[in-house]
Structure 1
Amino acid sequence: MGLRSLGRFFMLERPRPMANTPRRLSSPAALQRAGGEELGSLAALLDTAKPGESVHSARRRIKRLRSLLRLIRAPLGDDAFHRLNGSLRQAAVSLAGSRQVEALLTAARHLEPASAKPAYWRPLAEAHRQAHEAGSAPLTGLTAARASIAAAMQDLAQLSLTDDDDGTASLALVATYGKARKRLRRALASGAATELHEARKFVIHHLHHRSILALGTKKQAARLEALRQALGDLNDLDELAQLCKTSPTRPPARAMARLQKARGRLLEEVTAQAGRLFRHGPRAYGRRIGLDPGT
């Protein structure tokens, strides 16, 4: 269900805070200020980063900022939203190569013990790392990411949102919850890597939205984080499987069996977590966070 249709179903009043919510949902202006502060922190992080260092922290902060933008998309307007989101996406793309190498190395080490004979996944990921380092220019990616973040900072600072909390953020939260729920169900029904990857994006947005707006309990947040981690591990395994298709050495049957077994365990974990965390429909979920049904 989209934001507009949710707005028709729920009255655009200030939501009733949940009993376990430490503060009210933030106004567009408050979220804009929070975004500006986070962009400043991210710019400082990238300014001190050195080529070749881990960029995992920076990419996670970019994802959180993109989630924040979704909460204020309506008051921002589509043009401003697309400009800001595009700058953040470009920053993430500029850092993506290094992060993928890190993730595949970690996945291979978890998948295959050092004592495995013959080893396949570890050497494959290591060869990928060496090829990436030989053909990449880490400083170029870092410089491009810095420029994209600077552009986003300037763009956001020129906007002026209001302090009136009309429920925009909470409606965006519910809309994203609904998309995550729908995509998870579709992805788990198909088991397709591409659909699982898309579902993961919206689970991450939902996780960030709850964190930004201080909704829910620590236990719920931990479960969402576990779901995000499991989906991320699935994505890494699927990328390893894709990488082996480009390798001149075909994987031994034992290596593929190890990957498929690990993937099956993760799919079971995702199915269980998704069933608990996304059991309510969007409208019911909206009521649970205090939105009043419209008439």
Structure 2
Amino acid sequence: MSFRIDPRAPLTGEVRRIAREEIDRAVAYLDAARDNPEKALHAARRRIKALRALLCLVRPGDEAFCRAENDRFRDVARSIAGPRQATALIETVDRLIADYPDHADSAGLAGIRAMLVRYRASVVYGAIGLAATLDAAVAECRAGAAAFEALHLPDHPEDAADVLAEGALATLRRARKALKQSSESGQAEDFHELRKAVKTHAAHLSLLRRLWPSPVKPRREQADLLGESLGELHDVFIMRALIDAREAPFDGPEPKLLVKLLKRSEKALRKLCLAAAEELFEDKPRRTVRRLAKKCRTDLGEAVAMPEPEGTPGE
């Protein structure tokens, strides 16, 4: 199956199907993380983010359920975040080496990278109890899967269209608010909020690609690129915060040249992200969602009115 809502099927069944598939994938990656934690944990977190985006989209249909399950899977993602953050630090240094090759040696980036690799090994394989963490994460995922079997959403075309439109609108408004705050204050937490909203919106584009009123593929590509840039900026913020706080692995003397390169990278990424976000969210959210709601009502209504072709099994 696929990560998209089929307008020919009842909304409740589609959401349960997608949730079940995403949870199964997350559990498979968590099990694989016992042997290959760096890559598998990152993949598991991506599936959990996709699941949380689904919950965000249909939240207007059952506020209490979606809030509770979002909290559940947010906590699961946080429990396995340590190794991923360690990898993100390494990737940030790799980007600095690629972007500023003339300064890599003087800043000692190769040595810093080696130190971060050793730190990641201690985080993943050290005393944090990776096996126990994974066991707990898998158990919570399976409990979440069972909970989804009790979910009931509005399946009538008019009501289902309203749920999807309201869910998409909430994310678009969140993105516009975060963009405004990022432009005005420039605080790391505002850019982080923008990043989360962009990632959620990108997932919504996938879920609604058969219902979105405009060409979805170019907008999804635009959102994905912006999400990657915001992710890089987030990693820079994290590294700078660790250095400023003298937290592990930067609990020694301040690496001044590294900080200088991080500031240069941050400045360039801020400018890039703000410009890209302004373009992506230039339309007013209400106008966009009005078109979405209209198309949802039309397509969902036609799907209900159109009988299944004789002899063709349902999908």
The answer to whether TM tops 0.5 is: yes
Q: TM-score range by the shorter chain?
A: 0.7 to 0.9
Which residue in 1 is equivalent to 2:278?
A: 275
Q: Which runs of 4+ in 1 moved over 6 A?
A: none
Where 1:250 maps in the other structure, the secondary structure is coil
Which residue in 2 is equivalent to 1:103?
A: 88
1:72-129 Cα shifts (integer Å, max 9, x gaps): 2122231x22321122112101211111111111111211368522415535534542
Match among 149, 163, 188 for residue 157 of structure 1? 149
Amino acid at match of 1:206: H
Distance in 2 between the 1:49 and 1:161 partners? 34
1:29-50 Cα shifts (integer Å, max 9, x gaps): 1223221222223223323432
Question: Measured at CA, do residues 42 and 127 of structure 1 come closer, stay the same or move farther in structure 2, by a change above 3 Å?
Answer: closer
What aligned pairs does 1:148-187 form with structure 2 within 5 A after superposition?
148-165=140-157, 166=159, 167=161, 168-187=163-182
Amino acid at match of 1:38: E
Q: Does the CA contact (< 8 Å) of 2:26 and 2:43 recur in 1?
A: no
Compare 217-226 and 243-252 and name the one that shifted more: 243-252
Asked if residue 256 in structure 1 is aligned to residue 259 in structure 2, the reply is yes
Where 1:112 maps in the other structure, the secondary structure is helix
Q: How far 1:224 sits from its partner (Å)?
A: 0.3
Q: Does the CA contact (< 8 Å) of 2:11 and 2:153 recur in 1?
A: yes
Where 2:80 maps in the other structure, the secondary structure is helix
Compare 39-48 and 113-122 and name the one that shifted more: 113-122
Distance in 2 between the 1:122 and 1:109 partners? 8
Distance in 2 between the 1:102 and 1:88 partners? 21
Distance in 2 between the 1:105 and 1:94 partners? 20
| Structure 2 segments unaligned to the other structure (5+ residues) | 296-315
Which residue in 2 is equivalent to 1:206?
A: 201
Q: Does the CA contact (< 8 Å) of 1:183 and 1:199 recur in 2?
A: yes
Which residue in 1 is equivalent to 2:113?
A: 122
Aligned length: 270
Q: How far 1:68 sits from its partner (Å)?
A: 0.2
Q: Does the CA contact (< 8 Å) of 1:39 and 1:149 recur in 2?
A: yes
Question: Measured at CA, do residues 37 and 130 of structure 1 come closer, stay the same or move farther in structure 2, by a change above 3 Å?
Answer: closer
Q: Does the CA contact (< 8 Å) of 2:5 and 2:207 recur in 1?
A: no
Asked if residue 50 in structure 1 is aligned to residue 34 in structure 2, the reply is yes
What aligned pairs does 1:1-295 form with structure 2 within 5 A after superposition?
24=7, 27-29=10-12, 30-53=14-37, 54=39, 55-78=41-64, 80-112=65-97, 115-120=104-109, 121-122=112-113, 125-126=116-117, 128-132=119-123, 133-165=125-157, 166=159, 167=161, 168-214=163-209, 215=212, 216-245=215-244, 246=246, 247-252=251-256, 254-291=257-294
Q: How far 1:130 sits from its partner (Å)?
A: 4.7
Amino acid at match of 2:171: T
Distance in 1 between the 2:286 and 2:152 partners? 31
- For the aligned residue pairs, the C-alpha RMSD in angstroms reads 2.4
**TM-score when scaled to structure 2?**
0.78
Q: Which structure would you say has the larger RCO, counting Cα contacts within 8 Å and 6 or more residues apart?
A: 1
Q: Does the CA contact (< 8 Å) of 1:87 and 1:148 recur in 2?
A: yes
Distance in 1 between the 2:180 and 2:114 partners? 35
**TM-score when scaled to structure 1?**
0.83
Compare 211-220 and 193-202 and name the one that shifted more: 211-220
| Structure 1 segments unaligned to the other structure (5+ residues) | 1-20
Compare 231-240 and 46-55 and name the one that shifted more: 46-55
Distance in 1 between the 2:84 and 2:34 partners? 14
